[in-house]
A = this chain, B = another copy of it.
Amino acid sequence: MSKARLEAFSDGVIAILITIMVLELKVPQGATLQVLRPLLPIALSYVLSFVNIGIYWNNHHHMLHTAERVNGKILWANLHLLFWLSLIPFTTGWMGENHAAALPTSVYGLVLFCAAIAYTILQKAIITMQGSRSKLAAAVGKDKKAKFSATLYAAAIPIAFVYSWVSIGIYVFVALIWLVPDRRIEKTLIDA
């Protein structure tokens, strides 16, 4: 089965998610700086989520690039990932409107954690299909970076109830270490 439609569908969903978030920035009444101020935390959480979804799109792009074909299992693993990503606009708005209050900040981390797990499941499904000479398996290796990120997200979920800004700091930190796209895959593909 060809991967073209899987990529097109994922691109569509991710494109919608990344743009739908900005709808949370409701046009305010009035034309002064004061009316913009309450939008600032929402705008900042929008930037963070824009980068996070951008990272998923980039890595998804790299990962699918190594796949030649897809099967039913991969289709569903991909939909599962898209499901968790689809909750990001909601949690972004909730966290932004409540100025990083404990519960919304924790739920934001929970959704990122589930998305990370879903990404790993999708990766495994592709590797399983590619078999022993999997290009993707060679590229990601032990996938320390992904495990490290998921651990940090898992830590941020309870931490949010004590110091919510530390959790925010973790989300920003994980985003920064991923901003560089997965050069391991790029490298392996070039070497191959």
Contact = CB atoms under 8 A, between A and B. Distances in A.
A15 B12 CA distance: 6
Q: Which of A15, A36, A87 counts the most chain B CB atoms within 10 A? A: A15
Interface stretch (A101-109, A116-124, A126-134, A150-158): A101-109
A165 interface: no
A72 B16 contact: no
A118 to B, nearest CB: 13
B13 A15 contact: yes
A40 interface: no
Interface of A: 1-2, 5-9, 11-20, 22-25, 27-28, 30-33, 36, 47, 50, 54, 57-58, 61-62, 65, 71-72, 75-76, 79, 82-83, 86-87, 89-90, 93-94, 97-98, 101-104, 179-181, 183, 186
